[in-house]
Amino acid sequence: MRQLKLLGIALIAILSLSIAATTTAQAVTLKFLPEKAKFSFKSKAGTVTKLKALGGQGIECKSVSGTGEATTEELGLVDFLFLECKDTILGTKCTGLNDTTTGSILVHAEWHLRHLLEHPTDVDFVILILGDGTTGSTAAHFSCLGILFTVTGCVASDDILLIDELLWLAGQLEKELLVNFLPKEAGSGDALNTSIDTDNSLGMETCELKTKKEAGTAESSSQSGTGVVEKCTSGGVECTFLFDLTGTP
């Protein structure tokens, strides 16, 4: 009996080591290099950035630009400045609560790197809204003709592409990147894609953008827009972007 118990303990130990080894082998490390890199971005010429709630109401902005930086190898901070924004129904200008220019909306956010489980070489940006500078706020606020809108949550990009739109990104040195926020339109019969990889690439979690009108209920929203990430600098020196992907399943 004692030998059976010892054998059982040994088998459990071996199984545990096997599970640990499998988990380690599947874990993916995704790094944005160089460390502490800073960059700027702007919307692609001829494109319009749109925020649309499932109810149909939303806003569109003629351009967006901003700056960002990496605080670690996997995440960082970013500021979006949306310009010439207006309500898509009435056509009235929409302005952020802390903005002094009519039609502009400033949003502070945090970016995270993720990649798709089924496509290990594809990389995505996840944007988590931190606020708009309003004291104690973790949401973005803007007003259209005196009506207050509040936006919270996060939104995930489609695959980050090279400027020539080749899909293979990991391990490439590039000065510019193309980022698409192109979720499927509400009402098209297709569900919005709100499932993203976890940071260790071993599971899934929810990433959802929500918009609330005045004191109403927050609704799931979609964002569309295409931008170019450029002008990488590190320590004041011009650099190139590198997404280092290791430990691919």
For the stretch 123-171, pLDDT in tens is 888 999 998 876 677 899 999 989 999 999 999 888 787 766 655 677 7
Beta strands in 132-193 (DSSP E): 140-144, 147-156, 161-162, 173-174, 177-181
Residue 17 pLDDT class (50, 70, 90 cuts): very low
**Interval 87-107 mean pLDDT:** 92
> Residue 11: inside a domain, yes or no?
no
Number of domains composing the chain: 1
DSSP reduced 3-state for 93? strand
- 125: tokens are 């940006």
Note the pLDDT tens digit of each residue in 214-246.
888 888 888 888 899 999 999 889 999 988 877
Is residue 191 situated within a structural domain? yes
Residue 18 lies in a domain: no
* Residue 9 domain flag: no
In a domain, 22, yes or no: no
pLDDT (average), residues 179-204: 69
Residue 2 lies in a domain: no
Q: Which amino acid is at 241?
A: F
Which residues constitute the domain of residue 204? 29-246
The pLDDT assigned to 121 comes to 67
Higher pLDDT pick, 215 / 82: 82
- 208: pLDDT strictly greater than 70: yes
Domain annotation covers residue 132: yes
The 10 Å CB-count burial string (b at 16+, else e) for 59-91 is bbbebbebebebeebeebebbbbbbbbbbeeee
pLDDT of residue 8: 41
Question: What phi and psi, each to the nearest 5 degrees, are found at residue 22?
Answer: -65, -45
Give the pLDDT band of residue 14 (cuts 50, 70, 90).
very low
In a domain, 206, yes or no: yes
More confident residue, 136 or 177: 177
User: Higher confidence at residue 194 or residue 83?
Assistant: 83
Q: What is this structure's pTM?
A: 0.80
Give the pLDDT score at 143: 93
